[in-house]
Amino acid sequence: MQAYTVTRSGGVTDWEFRVYIALLEEIGIDVTNVPRIPEPGTNSRWLYVWTDKRLAERFARELGLRLHDRTWVAEEISISSPETGPIAPLVIVAFPATKGTTFFLDSGSLARIGTHFPNVRLPGEIFLTKGTRFNDADPQSHPWDEFASTITGIPQEEIERMGGYRIESPDGKLLHEAVPVVVG
């Protein structure tokens, strides 16, 4: 199968990948279930697989303009058939304050949840005071997994199907990540 992916040599930074995902969503691609391949050199990220070279090249040009980096290219790849699944985790932003931290979902994550779970009730934001302890009722569950289910309004199994989650500072620094491992 002739297919293409959009990437650049040297790999993709987390910030660049967020712009990549935002652009895919902007052009109408549902990043929760798409043809994908593992990003070379990572074990936690996927790249979208294009079947139309012209569309891949157009995407690479637009991404290069947005990132002020013209090294983005549509690269031909050799695959029999691409795997399908999510390519981006849900993003929870953690905004620290003097007495604790406010958490909220980024706009792309809100939109994805709203599309796939239109009846879910989202809390908007959650403030945790310093020293807040998580519920220890389920020893198999990680406390951040419980928290992710609370802030997204969906069970952990659904979060995993949507690509997992990341907790980031407002400047994009990774604080915690629970994403499926990419096996490529």
In this predicted model, what pLDDT tens digit does every residue of 108-152 receive, in sequence order? 999 999 999 999 988 888 888 887 665 444 445 568 888 999 999
Question: Rounded to an integer, what distance in angstroms lies between the CA atom of residue 38 and that of residue 40?
Answer: 6
pLDDT of residue 137: 47
Residue ranges of domains in the chain: 2-85, 90-178
- DSSP assignment, residue 118? T
Q: Taking residues 63-71, what's their average pLDDT?
A: 94
Q: Phi, psi (5° rounding) for residue 127?
A: -105, 125
Question: Rounded to an integer, what distance in angstroms lies between the CA atom of residue 147 and that of residue 151?
Answer: 6
pLDDT of residue 139: 46
Q: Phi, psi (5° rounding) for residue 18?
A: -65, -40
Q: Taking residues 93-111, what's their average pLDDT?
A: 90
pLDDT of residue 141: 52
pLDDT at 105 over 90: yes
pLDDT of residue 134: 53
pLDDT digits (tens, 9 = 90+) for 11-59: 888 889 999 999 999 999 999 999 999 887 777 789 999 999 999 999 9
Q: Residue 7 has which token pair?
A: 């990437």
Q: Residue 23 has which token pair?
A: 């652009």
pLDDT of residue 100: 86
Comparing CA positions, the residue from 138, 136, 144 lying closest to residue 90 is: 144
Question: Rounded to an integer, what distance in angstroms lies between the CA atom of residue 73 and that of residue 54?
Answer: 11
